[in-house]
Amino acid sequence: MDTPRASSDFDGLELGFDIPARPGMAAADILTPALVLDLDALERNIRKLGDFIRARGLRHLAHAKMHRSVDVARLQMTLGGASGVCCQKLAEAEVFARAGIPEIVITNQVVDPFKIDRLARLPQTGARITVCVDDAANVDVLAEAAQRHGTQLNCYVELDIGMHRCGVATPAEAVALAAAIDTAPGLTFGGLQAYQGVMQHYRTASERQAAFDTGLELVKDTLAALTRAGLPAAQVSGGGTGSYELEGNSGVFTELQCGSYAFMDADYGAVLDADGNRYDAGKWENALFLLTQSVSTHGDGRAVCDAGLKSLTTDSGLPLVHDSQGVTYTGASDEHGKLTDPENSLRTGDKLRLIPGHCDPTCNLHDWYVGVRGGVVETVWPVSARGRSY
Amino acid sequence: MDTPRASSDFDGLELGFDIPARPGMAAADILTPALVLDLDALERNIRKLGDFIRARGLRHLAHAKMHRSVDVARLQMTLGGASGVCCQKLAEAEVFARAGIPEIVITNQVVDPFKIDRLARLPQTGARITVCVDDAANVDVLAEAAQRHGTQLNCYVELDIGMHRCGVATPAEAVALAAAIDTAPGLTFGGLQAYQGVMQHYRTASERQAAFDTGLELVKDTLAALTRAGLPAAQVSGGGTGSYELEGNSGVFTELQCGSYAFMDADYGAVLDADGNRYDAGKWENALFLLTQSVSTHGDGRAVCDAGLKSLTTDSGLPLVHDSQGVTYTGASDEHGKLTDPENSLRTGDKLRLIPGHCDPTCNLHDWYVGVRGGVVETVWPVSARGRSY
């Protein structure tokens, strides 16, 4: 836990200065609650996945839905060898395209005619744009829009390999859709998306292996059917932080979509690798923290901090306290977190680092990442696509 | 459910046009997911609470933590007779002070020295600023900052009347703190804050009454002790949407802090009034909706919509589907909502209105409110203090 200095130097954090920190200041002085990135840990995570994909000749489209940050995406390209990013929403993709990211896969359906019109204009930024499709009527609207703007949209047929959310269920449906895309002007059939989000969080490697094997059969059958139909899939895209070794070593998948590995969170920390070790026991480092401050202590084993439901999400469990010294986060209200502190070690004003339960929706609550190295603020990055959920 | 037109008129929603709607357009064409305000219902809710406080000569500091919107706050002042707003965080208060809101009560402790410095400058905007205190050391730092800037900060002593979060626990502690405030240069002792957040959501009126009665004894004892000490409380501030009639009719509380009544949500809808009727059965109207679009249907009793954990929160339960026609929202992932639709009534592209489970953290996810009247977009308001949680 960091104890901030009782500073009389307020010149840099003026009224109306809406960022939580400035480069060069002590990490202990960051205004709370704030997202803090351990830049050393972040870079190590990014290099590690980069080594994995390079060794196998795979492509990596880093899922930017997790961080929504152009700066982190650039790091994933320069240090980690990523070809570009995945996005879930059109409005996210617009941010990354405008920032010059050269390749963007929208791992989702875009069905609104207004959104499709905007989607069809995105290749004009120079980015290669891919979108997922699971419905024949959607193909017609996409093609019409691409023709209207004289652009080319790459399309993946989404295959439902077990998540039962979007996607077609059978090789026959996939072939029919691929054929429709292939003959539609303005569209290119680019391959398959086969992603199973739920299995990413299965705790044991054997559970993930079983779920993967089930899905893999459908992927293989679909690829064979596509080849027979004269529509071979150029890419097979999928995989996440929980399952990437399975896709990456399958010889079937060509493109990984991992995102959370870069920051990690409490939920992924509890995932076990093939040796039964927790993910956070060395495989991936926690690079993302929520810095919070104790605002009320009572000397009776409890304290209150300034990070609640507007600074973190509880959908995947409560945050962990990093370097906790016996302190635990036990409940979130809108702007407060309840802490138990059996040894009454916290004083009012003390700061502590939380490991968020779920990185993606937590990052989306914030406007800034404060990048820290060696106890000093090195950089402040915007959460570039925050709130761009349409 | 609204079915959007298949429009070829895209001129108003350009690439890079980052708002989900424009005034004058059909409500059915709003880009999803988006927060939609039923302006008629909003105005009726605001007038109704205004009638309640005026009839009793009470003050209302509308809790702006709920909506974080300067425009809604102005409506609460002009239509509802509110004197100003409550805020939970310094950064929120800065937004409302700069916007010209004349009175702001920060219903929370501000302990960071950087934040206290900014707090002490806020009265320079012309706003009357009140802050809560539960710690004697905090009084000294507040006074020092107010003197540094030549301003006056009004202080409420926060009393813990049963929430066991912040606040002092006994009349003696409250008197000691009030005396310290009273003698501190730059500070004014303004009264008590006595707010119990948990009881707001108790389902039955008798549960709320019991919790209120327990807290009221401590408030009365504390007021008596303050008067004996020559430190009478000018204001007794508290109350929320679940309990406001108890505080408002108590003859003890002078100031209400209700916020959620203006928008409502699924959780407050299930609260029962003294007659055993649900709050949403006429007492308060749902004015806040999350407009979402079906993006994938399967003809097998399920569908997927485009609103997940980045567009709504699930801490108080899943959203309800308004005018549901048998459709229910059954699960949220980051960007998707799962719907069950036994009659397969939804087609891909259909839009539907959700009633969020919990309005405060849901509003904080969005950048815009789309105000609708008679099926037409009348206004688009920014969520002025979104993300300002420090």
Measured between beta carbons, which residues in chain B are less than 8 angstroms from residue A332? 315
- What's residue B383's pLDDT? 97
B113 to A15: CB separation less than 8 angstroms, yes or no: no
Q: Rounded to whole angstroms, how far apart are CA atoms B309 and A364?
A: 10
A118 to B390: CB separation less than 8 angstroms, yes or no: no
Task: Quote the minimal CA–CA distance from B47 to chain A in Å.
Answer: 26
**Contact B336/B300 with Cβ under 8 angstroms?**
no
pLDDT in tens, chain A (390 residues): 444 443 434 444 444 457 899 999 999 999 999 999 999 999 999 999 999 999 999 999 999 999 999 999 999 999 999 999 999 999 999 999 999 999 999 999 999 999 999 999 999 999 999 999 999 999 999 999 999 999 999 999 999 999 888 999 999 999 999 999 999 999 999 999 999 999 999 999 999 999 999 999 999 999 999 999 999 999 999 999 999 999 999 999 999 999 999 999 999 999 999 999 999 999 999 999 999 999 999 889 999 999 999 999 999 999 999 998 899 999 999 999 999 999 999 999 999 999 999 999 999 999 999 999 999 999 999 999 999 999
Helices and strands in chain A: count of H runs, count of E runs: 10, 17
Does B373 have pLDDT greater than 80?
Answer: yes
Task: Quote the minimal CA–CA distance from B120 to chain A in Å.
Answer: 10
Sign of CA dihedral B82, B88, B92, B94: positive
Q: Rounded to whole angstroms, how far apart are CA atoms B358 and A83?
A: 39
B31 to A112: CB separation less than 8 angstroms, yes or no: yes
Q: What is the mean pLDDT of residues B373-390?
A: 96
- What's residue A18's pLDDT? 78
Token pair recorded at residue A226? 């596509």
Closest Cβ–Cβ partner in B134, B334, B388 for A361? B334
- The H-assigned helical ranges of chain B are 39-56, 70-78, 90-98, 113-121, 136-149, 171-183, 205-228, 244-248, 266-269, 359-363
With CA atoms as reference, the chain A residue closest to B387 would be: A366
Chain centre distance of CA A305: 26
B296 to A166: CB separation less than 8 angstroms, yes or no: yes
Q: Rounded to whole angstroms, how far apart are CA atoms B164 and A304?
A: 10
- What's residue A325's pLDDT? 87
Measured between beta carbons, which residues in chain B are less than 8 angstroms from residue A366? 387
Task: Quote the minimal CA–CA distance from A361 to chain B in Å.
Answer: 6
Task: Quote the minimal CA–CA distance from A85 to chain B in Å.
Answer: 16
pTM score, two decimals?
0.95
- What's residue B214's pLDDT? 92
Does B2 have pLDDT greater than 50?
Answer: no
B98 to A13: CB separation less than 8 angstroms, yes or no: no
Does B136 have pLDDT greater than 80?
Answer: yes
- What's residue B165's pLDDT? 86
Closest Cβ–Cβ partner in B15, B20, B348 for A111? B348
Residue B240 phi, psi (nearest 5): -140, -170
- Mean model confidence pLDDT for chain B: 94
Measured between beta carbons, which residues in chain A are less than 8 angstroms from residue B15? 94, 118, 121-122
CB atoms near residue B368 (< 10 Å): 20
With CA atoms as reference, the chain A residue closest to B145 would be: A8
A387 to B365: CB separation less than 8 angstroms, yes or no: yes
DSSP letter for B294, please: E
Reported for A248-253, long-range contacts at CB under 8 A and 24+ positions apart, including other chains, are A248/A52, A248/A53, A248/A56, A248/A58, A249/A56, A250/A216, A252/A216, A252/A219, A252/A220, A252/A223, A253/A58, A253/A194, A253/A219
- What's residue A2's pLDDT? 44
B389 to A335: CB separation less than 8 angstroms, yes or no: yes
- What's residue B325's pLDDT? 87
Closest Cβ–Cβ partner in B165, B310, B348 for A336? B165
**Contact A114/B10 with Cβ under 8 angstroms?**
yes
Does B3 have pLDDT greater than 50?
Answer: no
Task: Quote the minimal CA–CA distance from A26 to chain B in Å.
Answer: 13
B338 to A165: CB separation less than 8 angstroms, yes or no: yes
DSSP letter for B266, please: H
Measured between beta carbons, which residues in chain A are less than 8 angstroms from residue B304? 165-166
- What's residue B17's pLDDT? 56
- What's residue A8's pLDDT? 38
- What's residue A4's pLDDT? 42
Does B283 have pLDDT greater than 90?
Answer: yes
| Cα-based distances in Å from B55 to B38, B50, B320 | 26, 8, 34
A32 to B390: CB separation less than 8 angstroms, yes or no: yes
Q: Rounded to whole angstroms, how far apart are CA atoms B264 and B261?
A: 5
Residue A290, classed as helix, strand or coil, is strand
Tell me which residue of A189, A183, A195 sits closest to A227, measured CA to CA.
A189
- What's residue B163's pLDDT? 87
How does pLDDT run across B293-350, given as a tens digit for each residue?
999 998 899 999 999 999 999 999 999 999 988 999 999 999 999 999 999 999 999 9
With CA atoms as reference, the chain B residue closest to A109 would be: B295
Q: What is the mean pLDDT of residues B257-265?
A: 98
A112 to B6: CB separation less than 8 angstroms, yes or no: no
A109 to B166: CB separation less than 8 angstroms, yes or no: no
Interface test mutation site (partner B, options A19, A30, A114, max chain B beta carbons within 10 A): A114
Q: Looking up tokens 């993946």, which residue turns up?
A: A156
Closest Cβ–Cβ partner in B336, B349, B389 for A112? B349
With CA atoms as reference, the chain B residue closest to A359 would be: B334
Residue B176 phi, psi (nearest 5): -60, -40
- What's residue B133's pLDDT? 97
Q: Looking up tokens 């899939």, which residue turns up?
A: A233
B335 to A18: CB separation less than 8 angstroms, yes or no: no
A349 to B111: CB separation less than 8 angstroms, yes or no: yes
Interface test mutation site (partner A, options B36, B295, B330, max chain A beta carbons within 10 A): B295
A296 to B165: CB separation less than 8 angstroms, yes or no: yes
- What's residue B135's pLDDT? 94
- Angle between the N-to-C axes of helices A70-78 and A39-56, in degrees from 0 to 180, rounded to the nearest 10: 50
Interface test mutation site (partner B, options A129, A134, A309, A377, max chain B beta carbons within 10 A): A309
